């Protein structure tokens, strides 16, 4: 019975070591860039639904495997309504609006300031109607 405190101490030491490891891991992870890969194939996004954390930079790597140009525009309903009737042929100045030429890859980094759900859509003529629509869910959960 005399060695029980020693065993308990060893257990506590292990527990602290494990907890320290977990905390270090979480801290390290929170500094890593978040990368979300989206592939465009046959005028559809894959995956069509992604989940990202609130308030942290997310780098989207968008690969267009089609022999035609596409767009990736993320935003709220008002943003998309503007682009449906818009005349901008090429996007590149805003991180939330990306043109991806045929058989090419683009990256853009976006930090979402509000939780909720936004759509990403290709607004080239006919593409949205064909189904070139996706959803990004911004979550607060760790």
Q: Which is nearer to Cu ion, 15 or 90 (CB)?
A: 90
Of 89 and 141, which CB lies nearer to Cu ion in the complex structure? Answer: 89
Site track 33-72 with Cu ion (rule: CB under 5 A), x = hit = -------------------------------------x--
In angstroms, give the least distance from the CB of 29 to Cu ion.
Answer: 34
Find out whether 120 and 133 touch, Cβ atoms under 8 Å: yes
Closest approach, Cβ 81 to Cu ion, in A, equals 18
Chain residue at closest Cβ approach to Cu ion: 122
Q: Confirm or reject binding of residue 133 to Cu ion (CB under 5 A).
A: no
Residue-wise DSSP of the chain: -TTHHHHHHHHHHHHHHHHHHHHHHHHHHHHSPEEEEEEEETTEEESSEEEEETTSEEEEEEEE-SSS-EEEEEE-HHHHHHHHS-------SSTTEEEE-TT-EEEEEEE--S-EEEEEE--STTHHHHT-EEEEEEE---
Applying the rule CB under 5 A, the residues between 104 and 123 that interact with Cu ion are 122
**How many residues of this chain bind Cu ion (CB under 5 A)?**
5
Beta carbon nearer to Cu ion, 99 or 118: 99
Judged by the rule CB under 5 A, the positions of this chain that interact with Cu ion are 70, 122, 124, 127, 132
């Amino acid at each position: 019975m005399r060695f029980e405190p020693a065993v308990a101490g060893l257990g506590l030491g292990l527990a602290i070591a494990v907890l320290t490891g977990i905390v270090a891991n979480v801290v390290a992870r929170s500094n890593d860039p978040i990368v979300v890969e989206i592939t465009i194939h046959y005028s559809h996004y894959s995956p069509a639904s992604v989940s990202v954390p609130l308030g942290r930079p997310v780098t989207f790597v968008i690969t267009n495997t089609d022999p035609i140009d596409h767009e990736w525009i993320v935003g709220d309903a008002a943003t998309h309504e503007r682009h449906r009737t818009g005349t901008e042929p090429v996007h590149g100045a805003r991180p939330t609006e990306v043109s991806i030429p045929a058989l090419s890859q683009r990256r853009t980094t976006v930090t979402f300031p509000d939780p909720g759900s936004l759509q990403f859509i290709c607004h080239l003529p006919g593409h949205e109607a064909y189904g070139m629509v996706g959803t990004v869910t911004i979550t607060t959960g760790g």
